[in-house]
Amino acid sequence: MTNTYSINDILKPLALTVIIDNKVRDPELSEFIVQAEGILELLGHGDIMEPQDVLAWFHEHEKTLVGRIKDTRKNTYILTALTRFKDDDMAIEAMYDAMLAISISDKEYHVDESDLVKSAASLWGYERPPFKVIGRG
């Protein structure tokens, strides 16, 4: 597989899924690493990043991503990140599955996470699975 996508292209939507609810939880960050490794491998970057490199990428970009999702152009930024995968069924399916896995990993429902996954589903032509994770509170 050729490197059609940059590492930033691949990791940005996954990282947005982690930070969109304004709380970075350990289960989400752990799932981010697992999902990132799988997609990086699938999309031709598997030999480049180890788990610690994926985590370092997240920490290096976290402040910028948080700033972008708090900006008035948040929707445009997210749309640009998601539409990078247009017309590539394999990448879209992998990215959607990864985003969904990250969003449910903390076993809590967050409106912003749900909206992000719904947006991705809509852009990529998927129906969102009819389930809701209910957190313990």
Specify the residue for token string 């490197």.
3
Residues written for the chain: 137
Give the per-residue pLDDT at 129: 55
Give the per-residue pLDDT at 130: 46
Q: Distance between CA atoms of 54 and 37, rounded to whole angstroms?
A: 8
pLDDT in tens, 98-125: 999 999 898 888 888 888 888 898 888 8
Non-local (6+) Cβ contacts of 61 within 8 A are 8, 11, 12, 15
Q: Distance between CA atoms of 43 and 10, rounded to whole angstroms?
A: 9
pLDDT in tens, 20-60: 988 778 899 999 999 999 999 999 887 889 999 999 999 99
Give the per-residue pLDDT at 137: 43
Type of residue numbered 61? H
Type of residue numbered 29? L
- Whether 134 shows a pLDDT value over 70: the answer reads no
Q: Confirm if 39 and 14 have CB atoms less than 8 A apart.
A: yes
Q: Would you tell me how many other CB atoms lie within 10 Å of the CB of residue 33?
A: 21
Per DSSP, the chain holds a count of helices (H) and strands (E) of 6, 0
Domain coordinates of the chain in residue numbers?
Answer: 7-124
Q: Which of 51, 43, 58 is nearest to 11 (CA)?
A: 58
Q: Would you tell me how many other CB atoms lie within 10 Å of the CB of residue 25?
A: 14
Give the per-residue pLDDT at 136: 46
